[in-house]
Amino acid sequence: MQQEQSPVGSGFSKGEVYHLLRQGFGMEEFRLGQAEVVRAIGMARPTIAVMPTGGGKSLCYQLPAALMPGTSLVISPLISLMRDQVLALRARGYAAGHLDSNQDYEERAAVEQRLADGKLKLLYVSPERLQAPRFMELLSQVSVPFVAIDEAHCVLRWGHEFREAYLQIQPFLEQLRPTCIAAFTATATPELREELGEALGMRDPDLFVHGFFRPNLKLEDRRLQNEVGQMRQLVSLVQQREGKAPALIYAATRQKTENAAAALQEAGLRAAFYHAGMEGEARSRVQDAFLADELDALIATSAFGMGIDKPDLRLLVHLSMPRSFEDYYQEIGRAGRDGSEARVVLLWLGKDYRTQDFLIQQNEDLAQRAAAQRRLHRVYEALQSNLCLWRRLLEYFGDPDVAQVVPSCGSCARCAASSGVARELSAQERQLAEQFLRALVAQEDQRRSYGRRKFLDILRGSKAKGIPVQAPGYADAQGCPRQLAESLLQAMMDAGWVGTTGSEYPVLTATPIARHLLADGDSSAWQLPLQEVTTAASSTTRSSSTDRAAVSAQDLPPELDGEAGDRFQRLRLWRARTAAAQGAPAYVIATNKSLTAMAVMCPQSEEELLLVPGFGPKKVSRFGAAVLAILAGEDVEPSMS
Ligand code: ADP
């Protein structure tokens, strides 16, 4: 892979870049974001690139290194990954080598000799090697124009994967002074990126974030009341999964991996567990069976998965609330690698928050503990809300592709369940929406921020005590009915125009979408899923009042969202019609408690239905068939007897 070399920092020509991409690396096109990163490095800009695992970060430093004179360095903490990459590069005729602490003397001496002779284009080093005086001495004899730092988030003291050795990088770079530095990571959130640049001594870096949206991963989340219901759902998910590949199930503790495997085996499924407490041999046996599709399900702790590249996983389940979106994203990324659809289901229990928080409390470092709690809280908040899960993830990682998923991602159960399709606003609604957004922007410009309730009180010109009458927007929407104001604000939040910050007392913020809407003024962009206001006002003709009372979404129990919420609504509608047909009060047919349990547990047989509280043999014989049919998704007539 011999290339002509341009002076460092003058930019690469498009021709040379594409020639190398196709001839040298055997790839047709860049993926989203890659070309921009390569261009920035070519211009010797300090660069931070945030792309998910598998997104193609290595090409972003390998290709520039091949186009530059001298030897470029890649600092990486993962020795096995370094070795793999060096082997792959060599196979393509690229002069690459690596230095790490696992090498023996001779191996290391040979690499050092090639470096000293100027025969290496790219040298991978582990961060520990940077401290060796001999290494710096060697580098002083060669030209090193470019240093790439892989897994750069490891430099963040309060991050989730901090590594002491990464603190050596900044003084090392200070001494080496390469022309260009680029940092790569899959997980730095917007709050941490600035810190990341500073920790590596980068001045005013260019930032690139791309590729987090994976529309083939269909996300679902269900909050369950107890482990019995959780196992029941797990069994049915594994039974119904598509394809031959096993389901991959993540559990938080070793004990839980073993319990879940036992529950699946009892249901006649081929299940095995995997955790760090097992002997090496047993672990490889399980891993081999998993790779050979000899299992229906593998239940593992997070110890499983590094380096596993099975492309055809169609079902991935989490059995507890993840500690952070970083962990969650990394784990779900193991499903659907071949690009075909995969189901990713989070079955969590209310007590998970406390369990995770308890584990966090065991860390004695106060700042690390606080950071871990913030990460956990972000996950909890997202699961509590009804918003699109993909949007939450993309916002968390600060991926601008979030614009693609608004108002609906088409790839999470929440979006699938909400019939809230966006529609163009009426003139009055649009005027109100504009007033809200202008007020919000003006408040932000004055560094004022308010929670949701206070914001609405301000806009509606409340005279109550504590309402700041000087706040921008005060009384702009005077006379607007509270319900309309609330629904409109909710729809703007759902559509990503209005965001919130702060966890304990969240305050409203205007998002870039809001500012864009106000600046642009294109009327087709003013579309919102404003469904509740309109159905309340105009749906009198089609459905009867019984039906409307039964399907109002206002009073859903909090554990019911996504598919369970949908099931609950259908059960409630059937109950209302049955009660009306029989002239009996609804609770006589089934209590709310029973309906909630049915919706959550989703029983599939009369025996299972008997486990629902308040549903004894008599009720099962009267209503069992109807309930099971509803849960199976069928349309059912009201029960007459
Ligand atoms: P990361 O380091 O971001 O986890 P990798 O650099 O290992 O990801 O890339 C993941 C896979 O994608 C590799 O098999 C790589 O060869 C492939 N890949 C990267 N960029 C492209 C591209 N532009 N076209 C085709 N394949 C690519």
In whole angstroms, give the CA distance from residue 605 to residue 267. Answer: 14
Is residue 489 within 8 A of residue 457, CB to CB? The reply is: no
Q: Which domains does the chain have, with CATH numbers?
A: 14-209 (3.40.50.300), 217-416 (3.40.50.300), 423-528 (1.10.10.10), 544-631 (1.10.150.80)
Kindly give the distance from the C-alpha atom of residue 54 to the centroid of ligand 1, in angstroms, as a whole number: 6
Q: What tokens were used for 621?
A: 């014989």
Kindly give the distance from the C-alpha atom of residue 379 to the centroid of ligand 1, in angstroms, as a whole number: 28
Q: Each residue of 52-74: b (16+ CB within 10 Å) or e? A: beebbbbbbbbbbbbbbebbbbb
pLDDT of residue 505: 65
Does residue 53 line the site of ligand 1, with CB under 6 A? Answer: yes
In whole angstroms, give the CA distance from residue 211 to residue 53. Answer: 10
Q: What tokens were used for 578?
A: 């049955």
Is residue 43 within 8 A of residue 182, CB to CB? The reply is: no
In whole angstroms, give the CA distance from residue 241 to residue 234. Answer: 11
pLDDT of residue 641: 61
Q: What tokens were used for 378?
A: 């972000």
Q: Which atom of ligand 1 is nearest to the CA of 57?
A: 3
Say whether pLDDT at 544 is over 80. Answer: no
Q: Which atom of ligand 1 is nearest to the CA of 58?
A: 6
Q: What tokens were used for 277?
A: 């407490």
Say whether pLDDT at 539 is over 70. Answer: no
pLDDT in tens, 193-215: 888 999 999 999 999 998 899 99
pLDDT in tens, 211-265: 899 999 999 998 888 899 899 999 999 999 999 999 999 999 999 999 999 999 9
Query: First and final CA of the chain: distance in angstroms?
Result: 80
Say whether pLDDT at 536 is over 50. Answer: no
Question: What confidence category does residue 403 fall into, taking pLDDT thresholds of 50, 70 and 90?
Answer: confident
Kindly give the distance from the C-alpha atom of residue 128 to the centroid of ligand 1, in angstroms, as a whole number: 26
Kindly give the distance from the C-alpha atom of residue 336 to the centroid of ligand 1, in angstroms, as a whole number: 15
Kindly give the distance from the C-alpha atom of residue 402 to the centroid of ligand 1, in angstroms, as a whole number: 22
pLDDT of residue 418: 62
Say whether pLDDT at 563 is over 60. Answer: yes
Please report, as a single letter, which amino acid is at residue 336: G
Q: Which atom of ligand 1 is nearest to the CA of 28?
A: 24
User: Which residue would you say has higher pLDDT here, 244 or 611?
Assistant: 244
The CA-based dihedral angle spanning residues 414, 416, 422, 423, taken in that order and rounded to the nearest 10 degrees:
-140
Kindly give the distance from the C-alpha atom of residue 495 to the centroid of ligand 1, in angstroms, as a whole number: 32
Say whether pLDDT at 506 is over 80. Answer: no
| Weakest-pLDDT range from 90-104, 151-165, 627-641 | 627-641
Which is nearest to 619 in space by CA: 585, 581, 591? 591
In whole angstroms, give the CA distance from residue 131 to residue 496. Answer: 47
In whole angstroms, give the CA distance from residue 425 to residue 492. Answer: 12
> For residue 140, how far is the Cα from the chain centroid?
43
Does residue 153 line the site of ligand 1, with CB under 6 A? Answer: no
Q: Whose CA is nearest to atom 20 of ligand 1?
A: 56
| Weakest-pLDDT range from 220-234, 444-458, 522-536, 561-575 | 522-536
Percent of the chain with pLDDT over 70: 90
Question: What confidence category does residue 43 fall into, taking pLDDT thresholds of 50, 70 and 90?
Answer: very high
pLDDT of residue 238: 95
In whole angstroms, give the CA distance from residue 286 to residue 275. Answer: 10
**DSSP assigned state of 136:** H
Does residue 512 line the site of ligand 1, with CB under 6 A? Answer: no
| Weakest-pLDDT range from 308-317, 468-477, 524-533 | 524-533
pTM over 0.85: no
Does residue 185 line the site of ligand 1, with CB under 6 A? Answer: no
Which is nearest to 127 in space by CA: 200, 46, 53? 200
Please report, as a single letter, which amino acid is at residue 626: A
Residue range 514-523: mean pLDDT, rounded: 80
pLDDT of residue 268: 96
Does residue 57 line the site of ligand 1, with CB under 6 A? Answer: yes
